[in-house]
């Protein structure tokens, strides 16, 4: 049971973030997820159209 006691001692040393820090970093994560999902969606759409265009050239030419 010394493991549990050691964990409790270490948890008392932890500096927990404040509510404003949690709020701040949560919004950063939300905006990053939105930004990267839009970015990869646009890139995927572009590559999809590029591949379709290349395939139509190779089969109709």
Query: In the prediction, which pLDDT does 57 show?
Result: 87
Total domain count for the chain?
1
What does each of the 61 residues of the chain score in pLDDT, given as a tens digit? Answer: 799 999 999 999 999 999 999 999 999 999 999 999 999 999 999 999 999 999 998 776 5
Q: In terms of residue numbers, what domain contains 47?
A: 2-60
Give the pLDDT score at 58.
79
The angle at the Cα of 21, spanning 16 to 23, to the nearest 5 degrees, equals 120
- The C-alpha atoms of residue 33 and residue 31 are separated, in whole angstroms, by 5
Q: What is the pLDDT of residue 61?
A: 55
Give the pLDDT of residue 3: 95
DSSP codes joined into one string, 12-48: HH--PPPHHHHHHHHHHHHHHHHHHHHHHHHHHHHHH
């Amino acid at each position: 049971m010394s493991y549990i006691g050691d964990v409790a001692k270490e948890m008392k040393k932890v500096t927990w973030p404040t509510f404003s820090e949690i709020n701040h970093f949560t919004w950063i994560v939300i905006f990053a997820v939105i930004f990267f999902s839009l970015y990869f969606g646009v890139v995927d759409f572009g590559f999809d159209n590029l591949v379709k265009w290349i395939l139509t050239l190779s089969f109709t030419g």
